[in-house]
Structure 1
C-alpha cells in the first residue's frame, strides 16, 4: 500500500544573515553531529560558543554567494515536483533551520497521515545526519510511525542519473572522458564514528565503485571534504589532493556526488578554495553542479522512493 504522505528531509541552509547564528548553533549543538564526549550542559555551552565564533568566519563566505545557500529553496521546489510525481503530499523538512520546524510539524498535524515515508536527501547513511533526522521525529512527532529510506547511493537509478549528468556536463564543455581525472567528493566524517559502527565509509566506497566503473577511460579517485575540528577524519581529503594530486590528465573534474543540492560546501569550498589550487598547478579544473541541476533528478528520485525498502526509525538511531 502506498504511503499517505512523504517527508523530504534535507540539511537546511541559512537564507539570510539573521538566520546564520541559529543555523550554526542548531548544527553544532546536535550531539549526533559533534559527539557525546561531554555532559549535556557542557556540550551545549561549548558548541554554542563555537557556533557564535564561527559566524564571523563563514558570513563572508555566504555573502559571496549570489543568493545565500540555495538548499532551502531547492528542497521546497523538489517537494513540489515529487508531489506531482508521487500523487501524495510531500512535506519538506530542513534539519538545521529551527524556524521552519513548526511548519513541518504543523503540516503533519493537519494531514494526520496514516503512513509516512521519510526521504533524507543524503545518498549515503550516517548516524550524524540521517540518524539525526530520524531522532528529531522520534522526539518531536512520536505519534507517527515513520519509515525511512536510509540511503540510495548504490541504487541503479541514482548511479545512472549521475552518469548521464556527468556525460551531459562533459559534452557541454567539450571535454573527452579520457582527458579527465575525476575527484569524486563526499562529506567527510571522523574516523571515530566509523570505528563505532557507522556504515558511511563502506557505503561511499561502494557507491564510488559503481559510479566510477561507468567511466573506464577516466582516472577516478574517491575523496572527502569539509573537515571540521580536530581528530582524524576519513581520507584522502579533497584539500590535500588539491595540493598533492599527481595526474597526467589535463582536466580535473570535482564531482560532489555525496551532495544532491549545491550549498556552501560546493559553491564556496570547492569553487573558491580547491579549484584555484588545482588551476595554479596547471590543471584545467572544474566543478560538476549537484545532481539537483539535472532535469531528470525529480523523476529519478521518485523512482528511487517507489522501489526502495524503508527502515524503522529505531534502526537509524545510535
Structure 2
C-alpha cells in the first residue's frame, strides 16, 4: 500500500521534510540538492508545531495499517484462490519507507505482489513518484549493485493498481460520509450547503506537462455528485500550495473567503486523501475552519475522512480482488503506460517498462 506517509512523532519531521523536498517528482526545484535541505531546515520548526497541534504526529500509518489489515481479511474471503493475503505499507517520505517494506517482504519470502497506490487519482508527483522509488529499489542501478549479495533470492513478480478514483465503492464511501455530515445541518438548509471538494494542489509546471491528476480528481467529484443526486451546489478546490511558484487553484482558503461573502453553509470534503493526516487535521480543521469562524461564518464544517470506514475498506478489497481475478492479470493498466506529453523524466519511462515487463508472468 503506497502512500506519502507522515512523521509518526514530532522529532521525525525534519527527515520527512528532507525526503519530500529532495523529490523532484513531487516538488520540482532548481538546484534541488542544494535548495531541498535549506528549505527543509527552514520549515521544520513550523511544521513541528503543526504536528504537535494535531496530537504529536501523523495518524496516517495507524489508519493505513488498519485499512490494510481489514482489506487482507476480506480478500481471503473474496479471492480464496490467491490467499493468504498480507498488506505491507510503503511510504515515500516516512517510515516504513519503500526499502523497509521490500525488506519485510523478502524476509517473508513474498514472490507475488501488487503495488497498490493509496492515492485514488494518479499523478506523476504521487503514485508516479512511489512507483519510481519502487523501481529504483528493485531494479534500478543501485538495486543491481546490491543483487550480487542476494544470489538465490527469487524475484518478486509485480502488478500495479495505479488509479481507482471513480470506483463505485470508493465513491459510495465518500458519499456516505457527506450524507452523514449534511445531517448536522438543519433540514431546510441541507440542499443548499455548498460542497467544497478539497484536493492537494499541484505546481502548474507539473499540470502543464500533461499530468492527469486534475482531470481524474474532477472525475471523482462528478461521480460522487451523481451518487448524491446532484442536489447540492459544489466546487472543486485545491489546498497545500508550497512556495511562490504558480499552483493549481483556486486555493481552498481563498474559495471559503470568496464564497463566504454570499454563503454561510459550506462543507469541506477531502477528496484525494484516504485518511486523516496534517492536511485534514491541521490545514482544514485548525486553519481553514478557524478562518471561517473569524469571518463570522457559522455553517462551515468538515466532512469526516475515510479512516476505518467499513465501506471504504470493502471498496479497496473489491478493487484488489477484481485485479487478482483478471484472466490474464494485467501487470499495468493501459493508462499507466502512457507518459505525459511533456515528460522529460527518463526514470519514469524505465519504471513503466519494468512493471509492464511482468505482463504474462503474473
TM-score (norm 2): 0.79
Q: Secondary structure at the match of 1:164?
A: helix
Distance in 2, matches of 1:205 and 1:137, equals 28
Q: 1:273 aligns with which of 282, 287, 290?
A: 287
In the aligned structure 2, how far is the partner of 1:54 from the partner of 1:144?
38
1:22/1:98 contact within 8 Å kept:
no
Relative to 1, partners in 2 of residues 1:295 and 1:174: Cα closer, same or farther, differing over 3 Å? Answer: farther
| Equivalent pair of 1:158/1:304 in contact (CA under 8 Å) | no
Q: Which residue of 1 aligns with 2:72?
A: 83
RMSD: 2.2
**1:16 — aligned with what?**
9
Matches within 5 A, 1:57-136: 57-87=46-76, 88-98=85-95, 100-136=97-133
Separation in 1 of the partners of 2:121 and 2:67? 19
Measured in 2, the distance between the counterparts of 1:12 and 1:209 equals: 27
Distance 1:293 1:76 in 2: 10
So what's the TM-score if we normalise by structure 1? Answer: 0.89
Give the SS at the match of 1:91: coil
Deviation at 1:117, TM superposition (A): 1.2
Shift of 1:218: 1.3
Give the aligned partner of residue 141 of structure 1: 138
Structure 1 segments unaligned to the other structure (5+ residues): 1-7
2:248 aligns with one of 234, 239, 250: 234
Shift in Å at residue 315 of structure 1? Answer: 5.4
1:194-236 Cα deviation digits (max 9, x unpaired):
1112101111111111212324221101000000112211111
1:4 is matched with which residue?
A: none
* 2:5–2:92 contact (8 Å) kept in structure 1: yes
Task: Look up the match of 2:211.
Answer: 198
Q: Give the match for residue 19 of structure 2.
A: 26
Structure 2 unaligned spans of 5+: 77-84, 140-154, 324-329, 340-347, 350-362
- Partner of 1:260, secondary structure, is coil
SS in 1 for 2:88: strand
Within 5 Å, give how 1:136-215 maps onto structure 2: 136-142=133-139, 143-171=155-183, 177-213=190-226, 214-215=228-229
Q: How far apart in 2 are the matches of 1:22 and 1:258?
A: 24
Which of these two proteins has the greater Rg computed from alpha carbons?
Answer: 2
